[in-house]
Chain A
């Protein structure tokens, strides 16, 4: 082995291999007796309704969040790639939610959506009854997690697509226009195909990232309002004092992320 690679190997062993082995061992350890290997932690997960809700939400939330991000990010990128007055200021304004520390952004969102928050106050001004937006079990809590998380991370997609639009050769669109293609046809048959690689990258990157969703549901609705696997693992560790349960839930989430990463790896192979 090249000696120059030793620091890298040491780093990987210390910060990746050892913690991973430790976590796997923890997940397969019976907390009560210390016996290893044991499926006790997974048995607890399988009989816990909260785990299954978390797993289902982990399947539903990422496509909805990423879908919303792609649509809104694309719309904003198309709008702000045009020569609008003050477009630099508008671009900066769109990036603000991502620039804010996540906990600050989410605390603001929680105060806006609270029963006596800004949103209900505004609705009361036009005679609409207040709603418990974040109440557990309500569709509004689920929708709030989707919208707030998408709002927070849309700037990433926006920036990726804005860069792709800026790099797009202007003469292709111009040629289509001269051939008589309208705005909608130019978007569908010229712009969108040229953006496809960037869109695919955005979907894959954000999709895998969205699987690890944590802070948004936790701050907005607590660990049990709109549970996902990461908040479930946190709940096991923090509220139930079960390190094995947390490790087992983390392992399930890690497996999900690996499975979801496969399309991205295949894509790289194709590119190579």
Chain B
């Protein structure tokens, strides 16, 4: 579908992004300004990350392409590295961006630049909890007081890893191994929380956990900023449902980096124009407009992320955002985290036993 959309556009730039249909008009308006100044026309194709990844790989394998610029999720950067070009956006742009986010896009050279960032925070039911848990001990106390009402995105997928790593890091773990002190402390926390998890936690993903909380079945969960927009549209936030920083562990707080990165495919037909468009999209003016109009979190340190009370918990986590381990075998490592936590949280395995088995 992406390739078909790109066909027949000749001199026009084809940009494939994972924007929502509702976001497209505002994004189109930002791109239109660049079209006016550059004299180039841009075709925007909105697709899901998985489809963008497949289209990119297909064009890389074919040795020719129609796509000039893609947006990929942070999880898929490493496998896509060989299919995109090394970027040279200039030191002024790189220096303006969050170094953690830039590091996550550096895979055998700077190939991906952060288009927008995401990270998780705590979402809690303020009608039930007078204040959100600020520490692990308070989290344990909340769990004991509300059995069956603690949410975990426990399906076997990347979202579970995103729920686990912040706790590992908050206990001083690296996230690279399952048997350091931080991993053990996090495993013990999940063992303590296990009896209080919602009975459907083993199958929860972003959408289903959000639904359960909207029905009043959960007192807290971890989720991405988009869930707050959903709750606001349902009239549930920021009144009953609010965001808060994740509880602090023995080594402080941490949360996991997500978001979209821009890259120029190896076979892009208009690579120079695409590079100019990247500079424009990541510039101060465009990023400020995207932050204002779409509520996106910018990777530019000179673009404020706003003071919307809806996202207060997310804003408070900005300085403790960390990328997932940057290594070629990350998918296998992520799967190991998922299996370990599922064994502890849903199968009653002891943390020590899980650590021993995965050594």
Contacts and interface: CB of A to CB of B under 8 A. Distances in A.
Interface stretch (B118-126, B199-207, B224-232, B260-268): B199-207
11 contacts: A134-B200, A135-B200, A136-B200, A136-B346, A222-B155, A223-B155, A223-B203, A224-B203, A238-B50, A240-B331, A240-B335
A115 interface: yes
B331 A241 contact: yes
Interface of B is mostly: loop
Interface in A88-128: 114-117
A225 B202 CA distance: 8
Contacts of A115: 148, 198-200, 212, 215, 217
Contacts of B215: 114-117
B34 interface: no
Interface residues of A, number: 20
A216 interface: no
Nearest to A50: B156
Contacts of B203: 136, 221-225
A59 interface: no
Contacts of B208: 222
B202 A224 contact: yes
Given A116-B216, A116-B217, A235 B200 contact: no
Interface of A: 50, 114-117, 132, 134-137, 221-225, 235, 238-241
A114 B198 CA distance: 11
A224 B199 CA distance: 13
Interface of B: 50, 76, 148, 155-158, 198-200, 202-205, 208, 212, 215-217, 331, 335, 346
B333 to A, nearest CB: 13
Contact of B158 (A134, A135, A223, A239): A239
Nearest to B50: A238
A239 B206 CA distance: 12
Contacts of A117: 215
Contacts of A239: 155-158
A117 B203 CA distance: 18
Contacts of B205: 222
B338 to A, nearest CB: 9
A240 B331 CA distance: 8
Nearest to A223: B155
Given A222-B205, A240-B156, A241-B331, 14 more contacts: A114-B217, A115-B199, A115-B200, A115-B217, A116-B215, A135-B200, A221-B203, A223-B155, A224-B155, A224-B156, A239-B157, A240-B331, A240-B335, A241-B76
Q: Which of A50, A116, A135 has its CB near the most chain B CB atoms (within 10 A)?
A: A135
A120 B203 CA distance: 20
A134 B216 CA distance: 17
